[in-house]
Amino acid sequence: MTLHLSNPQIKRRGLMLVLSSPSGAGKTTLTRLLREREASLSLSISVTTRERRPSEVEGSHYYFISETEFRDLQTRGDLLESAFVHGNHYGSPRKPIEKALSEGKDILFDIDYQGARQIASKAPDDVVTVFILPPSITELRTRLERRAEDSGEVIDRRLAAAKQEISRWEDYNYVLVNDDLDKTFAQLRALLAAERLKRERQVGLSSFVAGLLGDLP
């Protein structure tokens, strides 16, 4: 798929692409490929109350904010989703996302089913949710074991988490079985192309069609 598949003459509204999967199903690789190959897609940058690590860059990895700032965002309804993990708050700020969408840019979210559900309920028309399944548990376990950094205990914990995550597959619009990375990536790009072509997202169609009708006898 080397062609640019949008209708560039028609102004469109961006979309939020939510990818969820159990650890080891290939989501990280697919996210990287999407960011490399899909120019109009960028990763959502979360706010967090946790301390910045030396390797992290403000505004690139996270927006680092105080507890008070986080509470303010939450109170004003300015978070599309939020989570409390190991004593720290995380959230997706609504305003920069809304700005990107209105400029026809797409935002990628790499989040779990709880975040996916929150976003889908807050902005149903702008969200496309995709769940990535492993082809088999044997394959999932192999992929987890191949990661040298994970101990046996960590792998067992990830498999337990996988069970919980996989059991939410029915919350998603699309379900892909990642038995071949190239195929799954092509599927992701196809569904992204398709979702961009939905009538409601091509907000410039009204004026385009009005122009056509005006030119007819």
Name the residues that contact its own copies, by CB under 8 A. Answer: 1, 3-5, 7, 9-10, 131, 133-138, 156, 159-160, 162-163, 166-167, 169-170, 172-177, 179, 182-183, 186-187, 189-191, 193-195, 197-199, 202, 205, 208-209, 212-213, 215-217
Q: Count CA within 13 A, CB hemisphere, residue 58.
A: 4
CB of 4 to its own copies, least distance (A): 7
55: helix, strand or coil: coil
CB of 5 to its own copies, least distance (A): 5
Label residue 86 left, alpha or beta by phi (over 0 means left) and psi (-120 to 50 means alpha): left
Q: How many other CB atoms are found less than 10 A from the CB of residue 186?
A: 12
Q: How far apart are the first and last CA of the chain?
A: 38
CB-wise, 102 or 136, nearer to its own copies? 136
CB-wise, 107 or 162, nearer to its own copies? 162
CB of 87 to its own copies, least distance (A): 28
Q: How many other CB atoms are found less than 10 A from the CB of residue 71?
A: 13
Strands 16-20 and 106-110: parallel
CB-wise, 62 or 185, nearer to its own copies? 185
